[in-house]
Amino acid sequence: MNADIAKAANALAEAARTGIACPPVRSLFADGDVTAAYAVQRVNVTAAVAGGRRITGRKIGLTNPAVQRQLGVDQPDFGALFADAEVGDRGVIAPGRLLQPKVEAEVALILDRDLPGTGHRPEDIRRAVRYVLPALEIVDSRIAGWDISFVDTVADNASAGLYVLGTPVLLGDLDLRAVAMSMSRNGQEVSTGLGANCLGDPLLAAAWLANTLAALGDPVRAGDVVLTGALGPVVNAVPGDQFTAEISGIGGVSVHFG
């Protein structure tokens, strides 16, 4: 393995293990070297699986222009979701479990079939999806101060942290572009958005993921959870915060930071 890929992977893994964030890893690579960044991500995801963690699906990040502006990045990415990162609806996140948590509300999908091959369009994804769920993603950065470039966040498993899924409903003919999201922190609305804010359509975001992963030889599989990306701006979380999101036509989901 390239020494710089190993060095970046090790710095991020150590930050996750110790809870002490590390400096950005981008300086180890040529400007915008996305291939190297995904190689770093792969090293740590592979090590996690070898260590017994189970992948439950994927997250898509950076699909919303508002979030792209907040974080200073300009294209979507993806990361792995793990079974031990799922928190139950209305669950509690223990203090200290994350380094620098931020919360976003998203549309989650559960797939009914594998999606091998490229060229998937939103209508293909609709046929492959069984359930849609309201979700909160608690993103986190192993990089100090969220000082991230696109290379940093990709290397850091797309800044994945924890996720919370609400009750599944059948997707049917629901137009995900039109769903409206409202997220509150401690009873105050702090983020709003529409399905259309997620790359134009959460199903288009999922098609992007399916095509990208198939091209990499690791397609999305039946049963996978797909977090399609934030519908509105991300919001910082501190201990004591209660977050609730409602997505029209889909339902609600909440989590408490203990």
Ligand X SMILES: C=C/C=C(\O)C(=O)O
- Interacting residues with ligand X (CB under 6 A): 59, 61-64, 67, 71, 104, 137, 139, 153, 159, 229-230
Cβ-based nearer residue to ligand X, 63 or 244 = 63
Judge whether 231 and 113 are in contact, CB under 8 Å. Answer: no
What phi and psi, each to the nearest 5 degrees, are found at residue 162? Answer: -125, 170
Judge whether 76 and 229 are in contact, CB under 8 Å. Answer: yes
Judge whether 245 and 89 are in contact, CB under 8 Å. Answer: no
Which candidate, 152, 175, 158, 150, places its Cα nearest to that of 226?
Answer: 158
Residue 197 amino acid letter: N
Cβ-based nearer residue to ligand X, 6 or 194 = 194
Least distance CB 158 / ligand X (angstroms)? 6
Cβ-based nearer residue to ligand X, 128 or 160 = 160
Helix H or strand E segment including 182: strand 180-185
Residue with tokens 């809870």: 19
Q: CA–CA separation, 199 vs 191, rounded Å?
A: 17
Cβ-closest position to ligand X: 61
Q: Read off the DSSP letter of residue 33.
A: -
Give the HSE-up count for residue 87: Cα atoms under 13 Å, Cβ half-sphere: 23
Cβ-based nearer residue to ligand X, 143 or 214 = 143
Least distance CB 137 / ligand X (angstroms)? 6
Which candidate, 72, 172, 81, places its Cα nearest to that of 135?
Answer: 81
Judge whether 132 and 203 are in contact, CB under 8 Å. Answer: no
Least distance CB 3 / ligand X (angstroms)? 27
Tokens representing 157? 């498993």
Cβ-based nearer residue to ligand X, 61 or 101 = 61
Q: How far apart are the first and last CA of the chain?
A: 40
Cβ-based nearer residue to ligand X, 114 or 122 = 122
Secondary structure (3-state) at 23: coil
Cβ-based nearer residue to ligand X, 74 or 123 = 74
Least distance CB 228 / ligand X (angstroms)? 8
